[in-house]
Chains A and B, each alone.
Chain A
Amino acid sequence: AQSVTQLGSHVSVSEGALVLLRCNYSSSVPPYLFWYVQYPNQGLQLLLKYTTGATLVKGINGFEAEFKKSETSFHLTKPSAHMSDAAEYFCAVSDGSSNTGKLIFGQGTTLQVKP
């Protein structure tokens, strides 16, 4: 069975500082990995995804993530935080060998950006 662990339910950074949100996954098959962002009372928006190929993937709003198979990690980073980045972030994994596209989500990390 697949699972996702997001380390740290709350992360606080200062505006302009590096953002690092941690995600570790468990999967017995090659995974597809995703990061989504959710603003209050809204649905989730796809930030970026890893399927195959280049392990460093770039997404929207200046975010990027690196797939590290040896560490079973897919951490999300952004060099310089902006106030508008304050939101909840979810890491998700799907079975790369399945055709359903079902996602298993982590519990989320709330990012607070301080002025």
Chain B
Amino acid sequence: DTGVSQDPRHKITKRGQNVTFRCDPISEHNRLYWYRQTLGQGPEFLTYFQNEAQLEKSRLLSDRFSAERPKGSFSTLEIQRTEQGDSAMYLCASSLAVPYGYTFGSGTRLTVV
């Protein structure tokens, strides 16, 4: 069990650029979640995959955001045409089943300048 890995740890991008983050969950976990955390706030749910199927998306996930989980393994979160309001920590978590708790990755901190 190597934990949940996220890459990159930090990303600084100019407004209007596209960025992509990667998450590698614990291998036997079929559930994968993306959350966004802004300074001083708790994480907010973005989207959820069970295997390769994206089963739920938050209203926070605008048309500029897209997430994939090909073959039910790693996942990517892409933000197109980044805005300053996208600056946040993006957290990935995986889980074996409900109601087990998540295992979180260390997150990707995005700064849009």
Contacts and interface: CB of A to CB of B under 8 A. Distances in A.
Interface string A51-95: 100000000000000000000000000000000000000101010
Interface string A8-19: 010000000000
Kindly state the interface size class of chain A when it binds its partner. 20 to 34
Measured as residues with beta carbon below 8 angstroms from the partner, the interface class of chain B is 20 to 34
Contact of A101 (B91, B99, B104): B99
A104 B33 CA distance: 13
Contacts, number: 70
Given A49-B99, A100-B56, A42 B45 contact: no
A101 B98 CA distance: 5
A101 B105 contact: no
A113 B46 CA distance: 33
Nearest to B10: A41
Interface in A11-54: 32, 34, 36, 41-46, 49, 51
Contacts of A92: 42
Nearest to A96: B99
A96 B98 CA distance: 9
B41 A43 contact: no
B42 to A, nearest CB: 3
Interface of B: 4, 6, 31, 33, 40-45, 48, 55-56, 91, 93, 95, 97-99, 101-107, 109
